[in-house]
Amino acid sequence: MTVSRNPLTRRSFLGGALILLAAPALPACNREATAPGGAGDADAQGDGTVGLPGDATATAPITVGNWTVPDGTFLTPARYAMLLAAFDALIPGDPDSPGATEVHAAWYVDQLLGAFRSDPPRIFAGGPFSGRHGGLDGFSQFQPLTRVEDLRWRTYLEGSLGKPEREWNGPVVGLQATYNTGLDKLDALAQTTAGKGLATLDRDTISGLFDTGDADFVTQLYTHVVEAMYGDPVYGGNFQQKGWKLIDFEGDRQPIGYTARQMSNPEEG
């Protein structure tokens, strides 16, 4: 197979095959409804404490377990709470089996949406090593963008905003607006369907919203939550490599790679 050469589309056909194969094995979602306080009660630290702002105007810090979401986030606290809840329903976690909340998936998206609040922007990690397996940590030295990359990523994230140089194919709705609008609509859907805001709904009810809500936005959410689960931690997700550990994946391996024995005897771990 040559999947690595063609990552963006060959995978979807593997996925198609998997749907057919695995459909009978659809697991029941058996998580209990969340307590008041929201979806975030599956917390990163397993200590049961999650603090979410209670209303849209709140400015109190958001905490996940004993981790406080740093200042300078893009999303408002209210939308951040909605995103936490949506992600938590997409890939649920608990202390023994981390999910979106435990890997800080919402923070991953917030880092992307607000990438240009850092200089260089947090788009492309540096090279060549993470430092986890020897060598220096180059990943955390994010790379300056070229002129064209800068225009591309500002347009993609912020939208064209009426700027002619960003409208090479007409007006563009940026990812920031996509998230703001998408979360607000999902929240409105939650209100009309369940009589409660998205941030305070239980996982099962939110999962139901995914089936009736904007399919494109749900696909976007799913793509990003998966990126946050298994992407390099330098981008803000995969906190403490919990995503990789969950699926028994070793992650980046340079500069040590694998030994001949690790290659030929993978069952030894």
Q: What residues from 152 to 181 belong to the interface with another protein (CB under 8 A)?
A: 152, 155-156, 168-169
Nearer to another protein, 2 or 59 (CB): 2
Nearer to another protein, 66 or 212 (CB): 212
Using CB under 8 A as the binding rule, whether residue 67 contacts another protein is answered as no
Candidate segments 50-58, 177-185, 194-202, 249-257, binder of another protein by CB under 8 A: 249-257
**Rounded distance between C-alpha atoms, residue 125 and residue 252, angstroms:** 13
Using CB under 8 A as the binding rule, whether residue 56 contacts another protein is answered as no
Nearer to another protein, 16 or 72 (CB): 16
Exactly one of 80, 107, 179, 235 binds another protein (CB under 8 A); that residue is: 235
Which of 41, 71, 76 has the alpha carbon at shortest distance from 56? 76
Q: Is the Cβ–Cβ distance between 116 and 128 less than 8 Å? A: no
Q: How many residues line the site for another protein (CB under 8 A)?
A: 80
Show the site string, 20-49: x = touches another protein by CB under 8 A, - = not: -xx--xxx----------------------
Q: Could you count the other beta carbons within 10 Å of the beta carbon of residue 265?
A: 10
Which of 71, 121, 84, 126 has the alpha carbon at shortest distance from 228? 84
How many Cα neighbours within 13 Å face the side chain of 74?
A: 22
**Region label for 131, one of left (φ > 0), alpha (ψ between -120 and 50) or beta (otherwise):** left
Candidate segments 30-38, 46-54, 198-206, 221-229, binder of another protein by CB under 8 A: 221-229
Candidate segments 32-40, 185-193, 198-206, 245-253, binder of another protein by CB under 8 A: 245-253
How many Cα neighbours within 13 Å face the side chain of 35?
A: 8
The conformation of residue 132, written as its DSSP 8-state character, comes to B
Nearer to another protein, 114 or 126 (CB): 126
Residues 112-141 that bind another protein (CB under 8 A): 123-130, 138-139
Q: Is the Cβ–Cβ distance between 34 and 25 less than 8 Å? A: no
Exactly one of 91, 183, 186, 201 binds another protein (CB under 8 A); that residue is: 91
